[in-house]
Amino acid sequence: MLGSRPARNDLVSWEKNDNGEARITVERQDSWKIRALSKVFYIPRQRTITLDEVGSEVWQMCNGHTTVAQMIEGLRKKYKLDRKEAEVSLLAYLKTLGQKRFIGFVLEGEEREPRASKGDSSGKKWEGNVR
């Protein structure tokens, strides 16, 4: 796990605001169930998630080139954390981003090749070599 390289999902749009925080925009899935529910309940077409300083820094490090071990070391030095604190916090955060399909993990010896198909909460799913 520590040798894997987190990579942002190219299908998720994001931008950096004036404060240096990353803002992720998630589009609503377009399925018959969601359309039916949106007739009864208000379901916005998109929602924006603003990451805090540390979350934004981690998000930007998820470039498909930086390993998890390098990310832990960078956070440890910058925020003066011991290795275990940085490791546990980062792995929990990466797990959350992965479950939401905002990032995938490139394994050693594989190239970053995200491909989209229907499936997850944003209507997009990663397949192929990115896990």
User: Which tokens sit at 89?
Assistant: 């916090």
Q: In terms of residue numbers, what domain contains 85?
A: 5-127
User: Which tokens sit at 46?
Assistant: 């998109």
Measured from the Cβ of residue 99, the count of other Cβ atoms closer than 10 Å reads: 11
CA–CA distance from 127 to each of 18, 24, 100, 104 (Å)? 34, 21, 15, 9
14, 59 Cβ separation under 8 angstroms? yes
CATH number at residue 97: 1.10.10.1150
- The helix (H) or strand (E) run that includes residue 48 is strand 46-50
Please state the pTM of the whole predicted model: 0.74
CB proximity list for 101: less than 8 A, separation 6 or greater: 9, 12, 120, 121, 122, 124, 125, 126
Number of domains in the chain: 1
Q: Quick one: how far is CA 105 from the chain centroid?
A: 10
pLDDT 10s digits, 3-47: 999 999 988 899 998 888 999 998 877 888 888 888 898 888 888
pLDDT 10s digits, 65-100: 999 999 999 999 999 999 999 999 999 999 999 999
Does 1 score more than 60 pLDDT? yes
